[in-house]
Amino acid sequence: MPQSTHKPLQDLRVAETIPLMSPADLVAQMPLTPEAARTVEQGRDEVTRILTGQDDRLLAVVGPCSIHDPKAAMEYAGRLAKVRKEVEKTILVVMRVYFEKPRTTVGWKGLINDPHLDGSLDIATGLRMARRLLLDINAMGLPAGTEMLDPITPQYIADLIAWSAIGARTTESQTHRQMASGLSMPVGFKNATSGEVDIAVHAMLSARGQHSFLGIDNDGKSCIIRTTGNPTGHLILRGGAGNKPNYDPENVASACAMLRKAGLPDLLMVDCSHANAAKKFERQEIVWNHVIDQRATGEKSIIGMMVESNLEEGNQSLDDPRKLKYGVSVTDPCIGWAKTEQLLHDAAKRLAK
């Protein structure tokens, strides 16, 4: 048989393929502890009860825009765990623990992708750091929430997540809708960056259905994944194009009408950051207080809020990782801890009346 003389046709733009440990191997190295398991189970149950109207507390997903320093994240978690207990009668607090960041063009993709902040892209170390941090946070009795971005990542950390989100850039993605249909925790879908809410409603409907798609199992083998559907999907309003907010009563009522028309529960969350805050971190307080006003005057369709918060306010550049300020975001700017604590305590008092 004559030898083929055609040019290579595959992997022409792939520089390297690096074997990665399987999810089962990572879990064996860092097993789920009884303390963490209790926190995850209770957190999922409490969020689900809020979504089904059995718990009238406000869900508050609070924490850094992204995690880049596990030490600072643990200090933040320790403070938040204390406040969580102080406000638990009226507010269910879940820590925002985001390890993956979608990029509009290029940039740092998060702790899992680049844990050393230097472009070395040591994903194996990033997965270990993420799982270790989630184990430690859950051991405090503080449930964690994150955005699910890469469809492979959940196999490594999803057993430690009580609540998750599908971001504005990926809500329209069929891949992420299929993934959400198989996730074991409640999932929030953000409206599109354009502000369109119907895209998130369609995502919720899709994720409630059964799906079959390609993925990996716990041993890291390629397989067909068949899901039963996720009934705990919910809408997150985050504003739209031109920094147009959508947390006001008119937009909330419109979104609820759209949910009812689709046969979905007319319940939603409000993201206090992003376009709702005109991308100005200080305005998160305005959004927060406005939504608390709505809740306090009887608006029960708003069941939760998201806040980007860190130990210190603002953000900083990643140009020189050696000169980073402790407790300051390297992605979107955040409100500081003092303001976060104040907002949670003030809201707890208002909602208790």
User: Per-residue pLDDT tens for 250-271?
Assistant: 999 999 999 999 999 999 999 9
Residues recorded for the chain: 353
- For the chain, give every domain's residue range: 23-175+271-351
The third-level CATH classification (topology) of the domain covering 23-175+271-351 is TIM Barrel (3.20.20)
pTM of the model: 0.96
Q: What is the pLDDT at residue 4?
A: 64
Residue pointed to by tokens 């990926």: 170
Residue 28: Cβ within 10 Å count: 10
- Report how far residue 320's alpha carbon sits from residue 5's, in angstroms, rounded to the nearest whole number: 49
* Residues 211 and 188 sit within 8 Å (Cβ to Cβ): no
- Which tokens hold the place of 26? 């990572």
Q: What is the pLDDT at residue 298?
A: 93
User: Residue 49: which residues within 8 A CB-CB, separation 6 or more?
Assistant: 55
- Average pLDDT, integer, range 221-242: 97
Report residue 106's pLDDT band, with 50, 70 and 90 as the boundaries: confident
247 residue type, one letter = Y
- Report how far residue 332's alpha carbon sits from residue 144's, in angstroms, rounded to the nearest whole number: 19
- Which tokens hold the place of 165? 């989100």
Report residue 31's pLDDT band, with 50, 70 and 90 as the boundaries: very high
- Asked if pLDDT for residue 103 goes beyond 80, the answer is no
CB-neighbour burial class of residue 290 (10 A; exposed 0-12, middle 13-18, buried 19+): middle
- Report how far residue 273's alpha carbon sits from residue 279's, in angstroms, rounded to the nearest whole number: 7
3-state secondary structure of 187: strand
Q: Which residues of 157-174 are buried (b: 16+ CB within 10 A; e: fewer)?
A: bbbbbbbbbbbbebbbee
Q: What is the pLDDT at residue 3?
A: 65
Name the least confident of 8-22, 24-38, 213-227.
8-22
- Average pLDDT, integer, range 98-121: 90
Report residue 2's pLDDT band, with 50, 70 and 90 as the boundaries: low
Name the least confident of 5-19, 83-97, 243-257, 292-306.
5-19
Distances (CA, A) of 279 to 171, 191, 203, 298, 335: 20, 16, 25, 28, 12
- Asked if pLDDT for residue 193 goes beyond 90, the answer is yes
3-state secondary structure of 144: strand
Name the least confident of 33-47, 103-117, 165-179.
103-117
Write out pLDDT tens, residues 310-343: 999 999 999 999 999 999 999 999 999 999 999 9
- Report how far residue 120's alpha carbon sits from residue 104's, in angstroms, rounded to the nearest whole number: 20
Write out pLDDT tens, residues 203-224: 999 999 999 999 999 999 999 9
The per-residue pLDDT of the chain, averaged, comes to 96
The percent of residues in the chain predicted with pLDDT above 90, rounded, is 95
Beta partners for residue 306, in sequence order: 61, 271
